[in-house]
Amino acid sequence: MSVTPHDVTLITGASVGIGADLARVFARHGHELALVARDGARMEALADEIVAGGGRRPLIVQADLSAPGAADALVAEMDRLGGRVTNLVNNAGFGLIGRVAELDRTDQMRMIDLNLRALTDLTLAFLPAIRTSRGGLMNVASTAAFYAGPGMAVYYATKAFVLSFSQGLAHELKEEGVRVTALCPGPTKTEFFERAGVGGSPFGPMPMASSMSVAQAGYAGFMRGKMVVVPGLFNKLLTVTSGLQPRALSMRTIARMQMGRAKGAVSKGDMT
């Protein structure tokens, strides 16, 4: 039986944290959704919540986007379900706290696969449909993108790629009416910190935002066509001053905040 195609906003990493709250915000503004994550039960619960709030039930795809061929499989599943992707939100990602030489090699490469390769592959896979519909793309980066980060070196580097890639793509697609936004939150209250076993923020005295406030700021900036969205005054100051201070000084500061909390521990979770 054929399914009538309908426009959807596809959100990855949509089971918890920023991804789930982005889904809530997009749904609240009338967008029909497709949710992708590894945790199917949580996405079903989120879909029930969206329906209870008057929205159309999202399409749900349970998938590990770090796996080879995940982007092609997702494109095929969207075709099967009738979801025509006009907006893509690349939120899926995770971080590892610890020294590069001491972290598991496989875990670090999986982080690169998810934070970089999957994000780029999904963008390329859905870009033709996004361009045709004059839709948009939101990539969730981080204020980490503006710094080098001893104690989370690979994670910081992946977010720097996301920011640079998003800005370059935004410039290329601007004349076509396609908006591209890099959402760059600072420390955010998500499950990362619970999984890490860290009391409070691993960034010392830096304030932590709620995932909903980040999602609301991201959506507002995306709809206005902003290239880079940095929620929160403190985080904006961090990004503005990142180019003014010597890199060696900022790295020493970041190392002091993070390395003590990374002793002997590998911490995984949503760091976006």
Give dist(CA 40, CA 195) in Å, integer: 19
Phi-psi bin for 228: left (phi > 0), alpha (psi -120 to 50), beta?
beta
Give dist(CA 48, CA 53) in Å, integer: 9
Query: Does residue 208 contact residue 189 with C-beta atoms inside 8 Å?
Result: yes
Which of these is catalytic: 147, 155, 156, 219? Answer: 155
| Relative orientation angle of helices 40-52 and 17-28, to the nearest 10 degrees | 30
For 185, which DSSP code? -
Question: What amino acid is encoded at 230 in this protein?
Answer: V
State the DSSP H helix or E strand holding residue 87, giving kind and residue range, or none if neither: strand 83-90
Distances (CA, A) of 61 to 64, 117, 166, 226, 269: 10, 19, 25, 29, 20
φ, ψ for residue 128, nearest 5 deg: -55, -45
Distances (CA, A) of 253 to 103, 105, 154, 158: 21, 26, 17, 20
Give dist(CA 14, CA 60) in Å, integer: 10
Distances (CA, A) of 137 to 89, 105, 156, 174, 269: 6, 31, 21, 12, 23
Close Cβ partners of 22 (under 8 Å, ≥ 6 residues apart):
11, 14, 89, 91, 138, 215, 218, 219
Active site residue 156: no
List residues with catalytic annotation.
155
